[in-house]
């Protein structure tokens, strides 16, 4: 039987491709940079990469959920998401400490509000780690 599949080669050639691996590494590098610099440009680039990685792997898994290669790629992307979430929390925390400006972008206003509701750094890091296992466990339970 020939099952349907997505043609995703315009995003990444495969989960083993250099492009896919490079973007996983870029997430680590840009996350580290984001924690050091409060830069909206870095955040935008990082967010775009994370969205692509996550959408790509989930689209692959949507038609072949038992594929070991795709499941391994999902695990790598989930690891990258944990790194991203930690950096994003630091970014939001940094924006929250800045002075509010009348003409600031909506994102900055929302980040400032979100920063008031963040837990401590250690608690946020733990929550990011635990969210990965919770999401995975729930997904596996549904299969």
- Those residues with Cβ within 8 angstroms of residue 24's Cβ, 6 or more apart along the chain or in another chain: 53, 76, 77, 80
pTM for the whole thing? 0.73
Q: What's the CA gap between 70 and 29, in Å, rounded?
A: 23
What pLDDT does 122 receive?
Answer: 67
Residues of the chain with pLDDT under 70: 1-6, 98, 102-103, 105-109, 111-143
**Residue 126: enclosing H or E segment and its boundaries?**
helix 121-142
What pLDDT does 49 receive?
Answer: 96
What pLDDT does 89 receive?
Answer: 83
- Those residues with Cβ within 8 angstroms of residue 128's Cβ, 6 or more apart along the chain or in another chain: 82, 85, 86, 89
């Amino acid at each position: 039987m020939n099952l349907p599949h997505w043609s995703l080669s315009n995003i990444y050639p495969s989960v083993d491709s250099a492009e896919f691996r490079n973007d996983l590494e870029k997430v680590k590098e840009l996350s580290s940079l984001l924690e050091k610099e409060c830069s909206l440009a870095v955040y935008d680039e990082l967010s775009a990469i994370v969205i692509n990685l996550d959408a790509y792997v989930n689209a692959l898994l949507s038609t072949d959920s038992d594929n070991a290669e795709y499941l391994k790629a999902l695990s790598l992307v989930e690891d990258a998401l944990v790194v991203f979430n930690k950096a994003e929390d630091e970014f939001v925390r940094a924006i929250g400490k800045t002075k509010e400006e009348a003409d600031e972008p909506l994102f900055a206003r929302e980040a400032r509000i979100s920063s008031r509701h963040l837990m401590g750094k250690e608690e946020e890091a733990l929550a990011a780690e635990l969210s990965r296992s919770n999401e995975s466990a729930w997904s596996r339970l549904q299969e």
